[in-house]
Amino acid sequence: MPRANYMTISAHETVQRMFDEFVSRSGLTKTVALSEMLEAYMLAKDEGLYLELKHKYLNTEAIRQKIKMQEGDNIMEEFIIMRLSNSVDNQGNDCDGWKTMQEYSDDEKDRGFTWFSTNALYAGMAQDKVKRYNSAINNGKKVTLLFAIGKGSEGTNEIVFKANVLEIKSSRQPEEMPTNEYPALFHGSKATIWIKVDNLQPESDLKASMFKFTESGEDLQDVIIGKNQFAFGYVTLK
């Protein structure tokens, strides 16, 4: 009996050998390469049917309705997403993604909010983005920050936490936060982006496969898992 999630594909021996070397030299896995190939085939044959099935099997509409029920209609449809890699605390110790999130979660619970910092964007967020988000928040919109933990930081590149965004500060050069309203383990940090959040909590419903990048339209899962790229960006549900 065939194993779940496994397919047998027959091809000429030469093609198989070429494929083996291609994925090896490209730094890909066969699973990712074959998944991309199957999606490309369906998209080329019947884009409408492909998109219909994509929504069906990702259960995107059900998730969208669940979010609206939980948050109301005032939620901003664009999400901010960050993939965590290893960080260094002010004692010079390495912190993996889980340790980092635990520190911020504990700090948020103690204070009611915390400022999350990142240098994921070398020159910070574009100021028009900062203004747009802060304006939306001030007008009652709910902005959500998603956290994925990278494979090199004891994660799987999947979304595992989310938080409500209360305010965003960004600069072209790394700066310190004037107050110590963030985990003591990271006091003294300089960053190009500071995001004030509350309601930091684990997330299990939202998956990378459900999102696409707002501007490019690229599939988040393809970029974050397949290409093993990306640290910070803006996404919407498909």
For every residue of 65-95, which 3-state class applies, written as one string?
A: HHHHHHHCCCECCCEEEEEECCEECCCCCEE
User: What dotted CATH number matches 65-237?
Assistant: 3.10.590
76 is written with which tokens? 């901003």
Q: Are strands 79-84 and 114-118 parallel, antiparallel or unpaired?
A: unpaired
pLDDT tens track for 163-185: 999 999 999 999 999 999 999 99
Which residues are CB-neighbours of 62 under 8 A, at least 6 positions away? none
- Nearest-angstrom CA–CA distance, 32 and 83: 19
* Nearest alpha-carbon partner for 228 in 88, 6, 29: 29
Structural domain boundaries in the chain: 13-45, 65-237
Is the distance from CB of 36 to CB of 42 less than 8 angstroms?
no
Q: For residue 57, what pLDDT band results from cuts at 50, 70 and 90? A: low
What whole-number percentage of the chain has pLDDT above 90? Answer: 47
Is the distance from CB of 120 to CB of 174 less than 8 angstroms?
no
* CA max distance for the chain: 64
**What average pLDDT does the chain have?**
86
* Whole-number Cα distances in Å, 17 to 189, 190, 207: 49, 49, 33
> Rounded to two decimals, what is the model's pTM?
0.72
Q: For residue 12, what pLDDT band results from cuts at 50, 70 and 90? A: confident
Whether the predicted pLDDT of 142 surpasses 50 = yes
Whether the predicted pLDDT of 68 surpasses 70 = no
What whole-number percentage of the chain has pLDDT above 70? Answer: 87
